[in-house]
Amino acid sequence: MSAINSNLESFRNWKHANLAIAVVLIGALAIFPLFKPPLDGFIDDCVLALAYVVMALGLNIVVGFAGLLDLGFVAFYAFGSYAAGWFASDFFSSINGEKGIHIGAGTFASTLPGIHLNFLLVLVAAVIITSIAGMIIGLPTLRLRGDYIAIVTLAFGEIIGRFAVNGQIGGFKYTNGRQAISPVDALDLPLLKEFDSAFSIRGYYWVALTMVAFSLFVNFRLRDSRLGRAWIAIREDEVAAVSMGIPLVKTKLMAYAAGAAFGGLSGAFLGTYFNSVNANQFQFAFSIFILSMVILGGLGSIWGTVLGAITLSFINSYFIPDVFNGIPGSLGLDFDLTQLSFGIFGFLLVMVMILRPEGLLPEKRRRLELKEGIGADEAIVEVRA
Amino acid sequence: MNVATLPPQEEIRTTPVSERLRKFFSAYGLWIVLLGLPVFYGIKDLQDEGDLSRLGNNLFAGLSNGAIWALIALGYTLVYGIIELINFAHGDVFMIGSFVAVGMWGTVGLALTTGTLGLIAGLLVTLIVAMVVCGTMNVMIERVAYRPLRSAPKLAPLITAVGFSFILQNVGIVWLGSSQKGVPDLIKAQHVLVSVAGIDIHNSDVLALAVTAPLVFLLTTFVNHSRSGKAMRATAQDPEAARLMGINVDTTISLTFLLGGLLAGAAGLVYALYQTNVWYFQGFTAGLIAFTAAVMGGIGNLKGAVIGGLIIGCIQQISDNRIGAQWTPAVVFAYLVLIMVFRPQGLVGEETREAG
Residues B25-78 have pLDDT tens digits of 777 777 777 777 778 887 887 777 777 777 888 888 888 889 999 999 998 988
**How far is B337 from chain A, CA to nearest CA, in Å?**
6
Identify all chain A residues contacting B174, using CB atoms and an 8 Å cutoff: 335, 340
For residue range A288-300, what is the model confidence (pLDDT) as tens digits? Answer: 889 888 888 888 8
Across the interface, of A144, A350, A379, the residue whose CB is closest to B164 is A350
Q: Å from A357 to nearest chain B CA?
A: 7
**What local confidence, expressed as pLDDT, does residue A36 receive?**
78
Q: Which residues contact B39 (CB under 8 A, 6 or more apart)?
A: none
At A49 the pLDDT is 92
Query: Taken in order A55, A56, A60, A63, is the CA torsion positive or negative?
Result: positive
Question: In the predicted model, what is the mean pLDDT of chain B?
Answer: 82
Burial track B70-108 (b if 16+ CB lie within 10 A, e otherwise): bbbbbbbbbbbbbbbbbbbbbbbbbbbbbbbbbbbbeeb
Taking CA atoms, B356 is separated from B33, B303, B312, in Å, by 20, 20, 23
Among B283, B288, B258, B284, CA closest to B272: B283
Overall average pLDDT of the A359-382 stretch: 59
- Whether residues A357 and B341 touch (CB distance < 8 A) is answered with no
Shortest alpha-carbon distance between residue B226 and chain A (Å) = 24
Residue whose C-alpha is closest to residue A299's, from A137, A75, A59, A52: A59
Task: With a cut of 80, say whether residue A10 has pLDDT above it.
Answer: no
User: pLDDT above 70 covers what percent of chain A?
Assistant: 87
Which chain B residues are closer than 8 Å to A167 by Cβ? Answer: none
Q: Tell me, what's the pLDDT at B355?
A: 38
Are A288 and B166 within 8 A, CB to CB? yes
The mean per-residue pLDDT over the stretch B330-346 comes to: 82
| Window A:118-157, CB contacts with B under 8 Å | 140-141, 143-148, 150-152, 154-156
**Is pLDDT above 70 for A373?**
no
Cα–Cα distances (Å) from A115 to A34, A81, A112, A265, in that order, read 34, 15, 9, 19
Q: Which residues, at least 6 apart from B37, have a Cβ–Cβ distance to it below 8 Å?
A: B315, B318, B319
pLDDT tens profile B178-191: 788 878 777 776 77
How close does chain A come to B344, measured CA to CA in Å? 8
Domain of A256 in residue numbering reads as 39-282+300-305
Residues in A touching B171 (Cβ below 8 Å): 343
Q: Name the least confident of A312-316, A372-376, B214-218.
A: A372-376
For the stretch A76-115, pLDDT in tens is: 999 999 988 888 887 777 776 677 777 777 777 777 777 8
The Cα B276–Cα B265 span in angstroms is: 16
The whole-number average pLDDT for the span A14-31 is 80
pLDDT band for position B139 (50/70/90)? very high
Interface test with A, best of B237, B337, B352 (most A CBs within 10 A): B337
Which band of pLDDT confidence, cut at 50, 70 and 90, is reported for residue B7? Answer: low
Q: What is the reported pTM?
A: 0.83
Question: What pLDDT, on a 0 to 100 scale, did the predictor assign at position B58?
Answer: 82
Query: Distance from CA of residue B196 to its chain's centroid?
Result: 28
Q: Hey, what long-range contacts does B195-200 have (CB within 8 A, 24 or more apart)?
A: B197/B53, B197/B56, B198/B51, B198/B53, B198/B56, B198/B57, B199/B53, B199/B56, B199/B57, B199/B60, B200/B57, B200/B60
Considering only A184-188, A273-277, B265-269, B302-306, which range has the smallest mean pLDDT?
A184-188
Give contacts of B175 with chain A, Cβ < 8 Å.
none
CB-CB neighbors (< 8 A) of B329 in chain A: 158-159, 162
Taking CA–CA distances from A343, the nearest residue in chain B reads B167
pLDDT of residue B262: 92
Instruction: Return the pLDDT at A382.
Output: 41
What one-character DSSP code corresponds to residue B74?
A: H
How many domains is chain A partitioned into structurally? Answer: 1
B287: chain A residues, CB-CB within 8 Å: none
Nearest CA to CA, how far is A343 from chain B (Å)?
4
Q: Return the pLDDT at A61.
A: 93
Phi, psi of B45 (to 5 degrees): -60, -45
A224 belongs to a structural domain: yes
Please indicate whether, in this complex, the C-beta atoms of A384 and B239 are within 8 angstroms of each other.
yes
Of A255-269, A368-382, B142-156, the range with the highest mean pLDDT is: A255-269
Q: How many CB pairs under 8 A join A and B?
A: 150
Shortest CA gap A325–chain B (Å): 15
pLDDT, position A171: 74
Q: What was the pLDDT predicted at A377?
A: 43
Q: A256 lies in a domain?
A: yes
pLDDT value of position B13: 57
Residue range A325-336: mean pLDDT, rounded: 68
Furthest CA-CA distance within chain A:
76
pLDDT for B84 equals 82
Architecture of domain B61-342: Orthogonal Bundle (1.10)
* Torsion of the alpha carbons at B349, B353, B355 and B356, rounded to the nearest 10: 90
Confidence bin at B109 (pLDDT 50/70/90):
confident
Q: Tell me the average pLDDT across A200-223.
A: 89
Interface test with B, best of A286, A383, A384 (most B CBs within 10 A): A383
Mutate to test the interface with A, among B26, B166, B238, B342 (most CBs of A within 10 A): B166
**CA–CA distance, A125 with A127 (Å, rounded to integer):** 5
Taking CA atoms, what residue in B is nearest to A291? B159
Q: In this predicted structure, what is the pLDDT of residue A69?
A: 86
Closest alpha carbon to A338 in A351, A350, A326:
A326
Q: Does A240 touch chain B (CB under 8 A)?
A: no
Q: Which of A8-22, A233-247, A258-272, A362-376 has the lowest mean pLDDT?
A: A362-376
Pairwise CB contact (< 8 Å): A148 & B340: yes
pLDDT band at A366 (very low <50, low <70, confident <90, very high): low
Residues B298, B213, B282: CA angle, nearest 5 degrees? 70
Mean pLDDT of chain A: 82
CA-CA distance, B63 to B205, in Å (whole number)? 8
Count other Cβ atoms within 10 Å, centred on residue A236.
Answer: 15
CA B267 to chain centre: 10
pLDDT of residue A383: 39
Q: List B residues 141-160 in contact with A (Cβ-Cβ < 8 A).
A: 144-145, 148-160
User: What mean pLDDT comes out for the span B297-304?
Assistant: 83
Q: Where are the alpha helices (DSSP H) in A35-118?
A: 41-59, 74-87
Assess if residue A323 is contained within a domain: no
CA distances from B126 to A224, B104, B108, B209, B213 (A): 59, 6, 8, 17, 18
> Quick check: B10 pLDDT over 70?
no
